[in-house]
Structure 1
Amino acid sequence: MITYQSVHIDSNSETLTAKLHEFHDAILRDHPHIIRIACALYEEKHDVLKTFIHSTREGHAITAYQTILSNMPSLKSLADNQECRVIENIQLEIKPDTEHSAWLLEQGYASSFTVPIYHHNRLVGFLFLDSDETNTFTEQVQRQLLVKCNQIAEVVSCEVATAQLLVATASAIRNIAGLRDFETGMHLTRMAEFSKLIAQHVPASYQLTDEIIEHIYLFAPLHDIGKIGIPDAILLKNGKLTPEERKIIEMHVTKGVSIIDEILGNFGLLSLQPAQIMRNIIACHHEYMDGSGYPNGLVGDAIPIEARIVTVADIFDALTHERPYKKPWSIPDALAELQKMVNDGKLDEHCVNALAASMSEARLIVKEYNDA
């Protein structure tokens, strides 16, 4: 058996957030009134713009926020025309007609500079620079800042593209291998959505930034990639597995780690934080808090939080949807079972509570991404 050493993520180490802080420090030396820089990420598939990374020196950062870009005419126009925008006096020019606008006014920021980010002519997101003085962003200042903004944009674009490449590569392997039925399609989409929902609502003490949450969202669907190495006769068996078959199917975890390590090694990405998150999810999503899980019997905090989140998401999805061996459970019964597993010491209580507290959103996910 391969012994897996999980890697716990330091949210301040080798992250885009840390790099943005460094860029901000450099900008502050010449422009001390620019007290906030943030990057919002665009997801083209759902036309969603969502908070991602920020460096906020004054005010309260907005996190776990997303909106439909098409519902934001001003930003949509910037994206379509590849233009920057300056707001000289936020307090006079902005109306509190959206959650984001209301938050912006509440912080007391005085002026702002918005720059769209593109990679190979596709919108990646936006950079937002906010000042505590009006009329900060003169044409000369804009020219100076665009040099730095281009550097930030390049770093963000490359890392986002790298994460997307990892997902695309792993997904291609899955598709070529013909992994089917409940391990494809809507199950994978629900896994991403449930995992993000839980990650956004666990206690702040877990220190899950929007950046980490985005990576959990991206990589959760790859949790069972090792099942491409399991025979269909066992994987899709319509009935109870024998002890020998159970041992074979449990091998999908170490197979998954081997697959992803080869991919990461070929790209030279093993040391990057997103890669570590991906690896932890694949390696540890069948571990239980009491040490009764597999393959390594990790206990409690030895299981990375991203894996604990995906475990809860996976069990909830399995319970509430049909499988070759069972009918779907009702959502109340599924929640009751998760709580029983908490009481039995199997699952992270905070992750289950986060899901239970977000049940209205969870029901929408079940409805929108139904297998039928």
Structure 2
Amino acid sequence: MPADSATRSTPATDPTTLAASFLAGTLPPQLKALQARIRALVPDVKRVGAFLTDTTQTTLSHWADSEGQTLPCPQSLAALADNPLLSRCADTGEARAAFVQVDPALEWAADGRTCPLIALPLGPGNARQGFLVVETAPGVLLPAQQIHQLLAWTPLAVDLLVQGIDTVRALVGTTRFALDFTLMRDRDTGEHQLRLRDYVQLLSRELARVHGLDDSFVAELALFGPLHDIGKVGIPDAILLKPGQFEPREWETMKEHVVLGRGMIERMIDDFQLHDTPGMHTLQAVVAHHHECLDGSGYPEGLQGDEIPLAARIVSTADIFDALTCPRPYKRSWSIDEAFEQLRTLAGHKLDRECVSALQAARPQIEEVWQRHAAMH
């Protein structure tokens, strides 16, 4: 649950941190499915979890489990070198079973409610993603035959989990490439995406209390929200880079970036079979609907109210705030006060009232982001 915004600093928006949080959030459904398969063999398995490691493979970054939890690993427990059993797992590439002394990280994850039974690496050597952990209830002793069954079957479970992790990592890498490409082609659009990423993260954290958003959704939206304008890569330079206001015909062409972007995302999903990949619904929503308005006056579909996905309503609010507070060849930048006043006039008929209120609640952090980006110029 988010703390009061007046006492909270601006959240970290490092792309690697966001990607790790998003990836951890995709694991609980997969771990729950693995648990069901494992319990068909060994009914006394209480929980299945996974530690993810950072890019150096020396630090545990997140814990996720079949109960739906996703938690960042405390820094005091995160060094792999301080967790002997997991380190041995990594060194040998083999499962470890029947723990006598539990690693600090394993003990933290168990929280007295479970007992680690088997741990094995997620992937080999340089491709290792973390560790799969199978747990029982405290005090439960499994027969040797069941432990042997687990040791025989869990490598298959690892393969399934690693495939899912690799797919998500590839998707995140694709989004980074798309953002970098946009930044190279049109610096204004690229920098707008970076600012919007930060604003969206703050706004969605404020909305967590109302809509029950978790950290993984916040990270998901911060990763994919900046791709809302990806269709602009299909707009001719003469229009996209025009240093002035658009003529009516040019404006109609610019509006086509939404349809172009939606088509790009749909082709990517079809070509790479990403239909069931976490985050795809959010990515489609922000690309296709970020110019819709609550009163139906937006485009391209004229959606109204709750027909517009929440993710798109969040991005739309941040998008307009950024457009107001940044200079363009045809307009000056509005002050923070002027921008918030304009958002208040749009709330309830153009923009989601809760999103505008959430942005206002995060104003100290919003101003911090604005000043940080302004200092880069």
Is the structural similarity TM-score above 0.5? Answer: yes
Gaps of 5+ in 2: 1-25
Tell me the residue number matched to 1:346. 350
Of 356-365 and 187-196, the range deviating more from structure 2: 356-365
3-state DSSP class of the match of 1:224? helix
3-state DSSP class of the match of 1:49? strand
Could you tell me whether the CA contact under 8 Å between 1:230 and 1:248 is conserved in 2?
Answer: yes
Give, as a single letter, the amino acid of the residue that structure 2 aligns with 1:73.
A
More helix by share: 2
Q: For residues 21-74 of structure 1, what are the alpha-carbon distances to aligned partners after superposition, in whole Å with 9 as ceiling and x for unaligned?
A: 2211233345555433344555649x89346x5321xxxx655x4368697224
Cα distance in 2, alignment partners of residues 104 and 330 from structure 1: 50
Tell me the residue number matched to 2:79. 73
Give the one of 29, 36, 48 matched to 1:37. 48
1:1-372 equivalent positions in 2, closer than 5 A: 17-32=28-43, 34-39=45-50, 41=52, 44=55, 49-50=61-62, 54-56=65-67, 62-63=69-70, 65-66=71-72, 72-74=78-80, 78=86, 82=90, 101=108, 105=111, 108-112=112-116, 115-118=120-123, 121-134=126-139, 144-145=149-150, 149-169=154-174, 172=177, 179-184=185-190, 186-203=191-208, 206=211, 208=213, 212-270=217-275, 272-331=277-336, 333-343=338-348, 345-359=349-363, 362=366, 365-366=369-370, 371-372=376-377
Give, as a single letter, the amino acid of the residue that structure 1 aligns with 2:38.
I
Equivalent residue pairs, number = 340
Q: TM-score, normalised by structure 1?
A: 0.70
Gaps of 5+ in 1: 1-14
The Cα of 1:255 is off from its aligned counterpart by: 0.9
Q: TM-score, normalised by structure 2?
A: 0.69
Could you tell me whether the CA contact under 8 Å between 1:110 and 1:134 is conserved in 2?
Answer: no
3-state DSSP class of the match of 1:265? helix
3-state DSSP class of the match of 1:35? strand
Could you tell me whether the CA contact under 8 Å between 1:36 and 1:129 is conserved in 2?
Answer: yes
Cα distance in 1, alignment partners of residues 230 and 338 from structure 2: 28
Could you tell me whether the CA contact under 8 Å between 2:60 and 2:78 is conserved in 1?
Answer: no
Cα distance in 2, alignment partners of residues 28 and 188 from structure 1: 45
Q: For residues 246-275 of structure 1, what are the alpha-carbon distances to aligned partners after superposition, in whole Å with 9 as ceiling and x for unaligned?
A: 211111000111222222222233464533
3-state DSSP class of the match of 2:46? strand
Alignment root-mean-square deviation, CA:
4.3
3-state DSSP class of the match of 1:223? helix
Q: For residues 139-190 of structure 1, what are the alpha-carbon distances to aligned partners after superposition, in whole Å with 9 as ceiling and x for unaligned?
A: 9877654555544443343334334434544665676685221222x54344
Q: Go from structure 1 to structure 2 and tell me whether the alpha carbon gap of 1:364 and 1:35 turns closer, same or farther (over 3 Å shift).
A: farther
Could you tell me whether the CA contact under 8 Å between 1:111 and 1:136 is conserved in 2?
Answer: no
Cα distance in 1, alignment partners of residues 100 and 364 from structure 2: 40
From the CA coordinates, give the structure whose radius of gyration is larger: 2
Could you tell me whether the CA contact under 8 Å between 2:235 and 2:253 is conserved in 1?
Answer: yes
3-state DSSP class of the match of 1:36? strand
